[in-house]
Amino acid sequence: MGEIDVKMFAAELVKASVEGQMKRKRSLVYEQARASKDLFKLWNKEQARFVVDARTRGNVRHSFQYKPRFTEYEPTVKEIEESLPDDLKDLGKERGFNLLVECEREEHQRGVHEFKVTLEYSQPVVDVIGARVRNGDWP
């Protein structure tokens, strides 16, 4: 390669890398926004199952799995917590309710992993049952 060819190739490499980085950045931004939308849809679907499980089995702990399919975005537990729908986050703040997001991935591991979102609320159920027992309204 001559000196001109080297400079042209260097310029071509720089241009290609910049274009690649821009593409990755656009993908990252898109995937970050998609996480919130995915979790909103998933939560809307899971609500009915939570009610059925509570009614038929008396469950006070409900979970759903979220496995993002991203190429650039590698969300953390904190980012998933922040991406949850507001009504689910508000529910987790109710007295006696606890909302937990877990992931098996260690902080240093790269890649997208599965998240488990759990809502638990045993104390409010115990309180209601206790009141019914005291009122003679419990079998």
pLDDT tens profile 7-23: 999 999 999 999 999 99
Confidence of residue 92 (pLDDT cuts 50, 70, 90): very high
Q: What is the pTM of this model?
A: 0.82
Pairing type for strands 61-66 and 98-103 reads unpaired
User: Residue 118: which pLDDT band, with cuts at 50, 70 and 90?
Assistant: very high
Sheet holding 61-66, edge to edge: 61-66, 115-120, 98-103
Burial 60-90 (b: 16+ CB within 10 A, else e): bebebebebebeebbbebeebbebbbeebee
Query: Chain-wide mean pLDDT for the chain?
Result: 92
The pLDDT, as a whole number, for residue 111 is: 66
Mean of the pLDDT values across residues 81-92? 97
In angstroms, the CA 41 to CA 34 distance is 11
The beta strand positions in the chain, using DSSP E, are: 61-66, 98-103, 115-120
